[in-house]
Amino acid sequence: MTTSQSEIQNPAERGASSPKSTIQCVILAAGQGTRMKSAQPKVVHAIAGRPMVDYVIDTALSISDLCPIVVIGYGADSVRTAIGDRVEYVLQTEQHGTGHAMLQTRDQIDPSAEIVLVLYGDTPFITPETLRDMIDAHAKAKATLTLLTFKPIDPANYGRIVRAPTGKVKNIIEYKEATPEQRTIREVNSGFVCYHARWLWEHLPKLQPQPGHGELYLTDLVSMAARERATIATCEASEAEVLGINDRVELARAEQLMRDHINHNLMLNGITLIDPAHTYVEATVTIGADTIVYPGTHLYGKTAIGSHCQIGPATIIHDSQIGNHCTIVASMLEGATLEDDVDMGPFSHLRKGAYLSKGVHIGNFAEVKNSRLGQGSKQGHFSYLGDATIGADVNIGAGTITCNFDGVNKFPTEIGDGTFIGSDTLIVAPIKIGQNARTGAGSVVTHDVGDNELVYGVPAKPKKKSVNP
Ligand code: UD1
Ligand code: CA
């Protein structure tokens, strides 16, 4: 970290070691992100399953007690929907640059804030630790503004930090406006800046539109501060933390980095990943210790997996709750719930509302939708259960189908405890099959079946004598 000091003006004299509550975070997220070439605003593009701006918000929330302000504009409604109500919003109806975006926030900034910390919504890897270092540097230098800079291998389109021969920061020159010589500067602007609040509000209205396109650059405040000989401090970050995402190439790189980070943390928390490079876990997923995840596994959304499970290979799980000691091989789960000790697969599919109680066994080519299987029940081979309530210890024979749909409406099926459904049974809903009943192989069951009853044939008829007297 380097700092430059001014003897002439020092508006941040009372800034030393400010308490948490005096920091107001502002996240700029109103831009379209033209380089993404997308109908969606850039900041809602997901990284490891979460809108990129969400990560910045998490960080902002962890460093200040004041509610972060997010400036939205392009696609404001979809940004609001993606983020929810954990922040305050300011609308920038037309996007005339980062300086113009900041100007819109003036009335919403908490008057107690001594430091305004500006964050960009397209820079999701920033950590609270680095921001705290920056805030400390700002307070220590009693700076007017403190820039977080970095020196990437390829400075690409980032704004260049122009320093005087003395080392003092003179200005930030955007890549577009930079001369070929300035473009060789390796030190660039991350976009994260701490401002002395009063100085910021005094100077923001003085920003001049850029010739040609008329944008107000927030970065132009730096040359204003330098001209006034105000204190400009800088703090250096690692490239990995301040990577800005502007196009799909950078998005893919960010996805890879985030995935590595998530997998790394999972492993440190006691989860075995057989091949982390081929394991895809979104940031919203939780996994218990001693679970083993095999390659080609994708875990998405609000999925929670218990401990001592074996998941994969080649398994896709969305928004599902999985207990402890479960085994799932080469299968797909969407909106399903599994209690402990369930085993499943290969090649089966649980759809929304599938609920498998403790010890259920699902074999191959089975599909379950909006159905509950009681404790210890088995559905071993190619079959479909939809809108069904199955008791405990039921055997669903190979080829069983609940015919739950008549082309217009869906109908329920109920099967009692201990019942044995013979191979290739078609169960035409709505229907109720009692406890400890049996259906013969190939039956088409069109009427309710009583407890202990055996039915068979097409359409299925009861055998006179009960099977389990
Ligand atoms: C910006 C910086 C550049 C820095 C880089 C770091 C400026 C002028 N340039 O460039 O120095 O190296 O970030 O990643 O600040 N936004 C608004 N309203 C607007 C325009 C932008 O809210 O009118 C938001 C965007 O949604 C985005 C952020 O500000 O989250 C940065 O805008 P972007 O266009 O990505 O700036 P860069 O060209 O990357
Ligand atoms: Ca950017």
H helix and E strand count, the chain: 9, 41
Q: Which two tokens stand for residue 376?
A: 């210890």
Nearest CA to ligand 1 atom 11: 159
In tens, the pLDDT along 107-116 reads 999 889 999 9
Going by alpha carbons, the residue nearest to atom 37 of ligand 1 is: 158
When pLDDT is averaged across residues 85-107 and rounded to a whole number, the result is 97
308 counts as catalytic: no
The rounded Cα 351 to chain-centroid distance in angstroms is: 22
- Could you identify the atom of ligand 1 that is nearest to the CA of residue 27? 30
Q: Is residue 419 in some structural domain?
A: yes
Per the structure, the complete domain to which residue 267 belongs is given by 248-462
Residues with C-beta less than 6 Å from any ligand 1 atom: 28-31, 43, 71, 73, 92, 95-98, 100-101, 120-123, 158-159, 172, 174, 188-191, 217-219, 244, 246
Looking at residue 239, its pLDDT comes to 95
Max CA separation in the chain (angstroms): 105
**What is the pTM assigned to this prediction?**
0.89
Same domain for 136 and 285, yes or no, is no
- 27, 120, 177: residue to mutate for ligand 1 pocket, most atoms within 8 A of CB: 120
Please indicate, yes or no, whether residues 289 and 177 belong to a single structural domain of this protein: no
What average pLDDT does range 251-271 have in this prediction?
97
Q: What is the position in ligand 1's atom list of the atom closest to the CA of 41? A: 26
Do 144 and 277 share a domain, yes or no? no
Average pLDDT over residues 254-276: 97
Residue with the smallest CA separation from ligand 1 atom 16 is 31
User: Within 10 Å of residue 288's Cβ, how many Cβ atoms?
Assistant: 17
Rounded to the nearest 10 degrees, how much is the dihedral formed by the CA atoms of 430, 433, 434, 436? -160
What spacing in Å lies between the alpha carbon of 417 and ligand 2's midpoint?
60
- Give the nearest ligand 1 atom to 72 CA: 22
Cα distance between residue 262 and residue 265, in whole Å:
5
Mean pLDDT of the region 53-71:
97
Same domain, yes or no: 222 and 256: no
pLDDT at 465: 59
> Considering the domain boundaries, does residue 242 fall inside one?
no
Residue 65's pLDDT band (cuts 50, 70, 90): very high
Whether 205 and 266 share a structural domain: no
CA of 104 to the centre of ligand 2 (A): 19
Say how far apart CA 77 and CA 97 lie, in whole Å.
20
Q: How far is CA 113 from CA 1, 64, 67, 109, in A?
A: 25, 10, 11, 7
Verify that 72 and 180 share a domain, yes or no: yes
Give distance in angstroms: CA of 148 to centre of ligand 2.
14
SS3 299: strand
What are the pLDDT digits (tens) for 362-415?
Answer: 999 999 999 999 999 999 999 999 999 999 999 999 999 999 999 999 999 999
What is the tens place of the pLDDT at every residue in 2-39?
Answer: 333 332 233 333 334 444 549 999 999 999 999 999 99
In a domain, 112, yes or no: yes
- Residue pair 167/4 in contact (Cβ under 8 Å)? The answer is yes
DSSP 174-208: -GGG--HHHHT---EEEEEEEEEHHHHHHHGGGPP
Q: pLDDT at position 110, please?
A: 87
**Residue 437 near residue 451 (C-beta atoms within 8 A):** yes
Do 308 and 387 sit in the same domain of this protein?
A: yes
145 φ, ψ (degrees, to nearest 5): -150, 150
Ligand 1 nearest-atom number relative to CA 71: 22
Q: Is residue 7 part of a domain?
A: no
User: What is the rounded average pLDDT of the residues 40-57?
Assistant: 97
- What is the tens place of the pLDDT at every residue in 142-183? 999 999 999 999 999 999 999 999 999 999 999 999 999 999
Q: 187-221: per-residue pLDDT in tens?
A: 999 999 999 999 999 999 999 999 999 999 999 99
Mutational pocket test of ligand 1: of 26, 28, 126, 218, the residue with most ligand atoms within 8 Å of the beta carbon:
28
Ligand 2 centroid – CA 29 distance (Å): 10
Residue 403 tokens, joined: 């015919």
Is residue 15 situated within a structural domain? no
Shared domain check, 267 and 207: no
* Residue 463 pLDDT grade (very low, low, confident, very high; cuts 50, 70, 90): confident
Decide if 268 is inside a domain. Answer: yes
Residue that finishes a domain, picked among 180, 204, 236: 236
Indicate the number of domains in the chain.
2
420, 414 in Cβ contact below 8 A?
no
Q: What are 232's two structure tokens?
A: 């400009």
Please check whether residues 209 and 65 belong to one and the same domain: yes
Give the domain CATH number at 158.
3.90.550.10
Between residues 307 and 6, the one the model is more confident about: 307
Asked whether residue 266 falls in the same domain as residue 369, the answer is yes
Within a domain: residue 241?
no
φ/ψ (deg, to 5) at 462: -70, 145
Looking at every residue in the chain, the average pLDDT score rounds to: 94
Which value, to the nearest 10 degrees, does the dihedral of the CA atoms of residues 279, 382, 412, 355 take?
-30
314-334 burial code (b ≥16 CB/10 A, e <16): bbbbbbbbbbbbbbbbbbbbb
In a domain? residue 13: no
Nearest to 276 by CA among 289, 252, 258, 288: 258
From ligand 1's centre to the CA of 93, what distance in Å? 16
Does residue 5 or residue 346 have the better pLDDT? 346
- CATH code, domain carrying 437: 2.160.10.10
Clarify whether residues 188 and 72 are in a common domain: yes
* Nearest protein Cα to ligand 1, atom 14: 244
Contact of 398 with 415, CB cutoff 8 Å? no
Of 234, 217, 233, the closest CA to residue 149 belongs to: 234
What atom of ligand 1 comes closest to residue 217's alpha carbon?
A: 8
pLDDT in tens, 123-139: 999 999 999 999 999 99
Amino acid sitting at position 184:
T
Q: Does one domain contain both 189 and 140?
A: yes
Which among 96, 203, 381, 447 is annotated as catalytic? 381
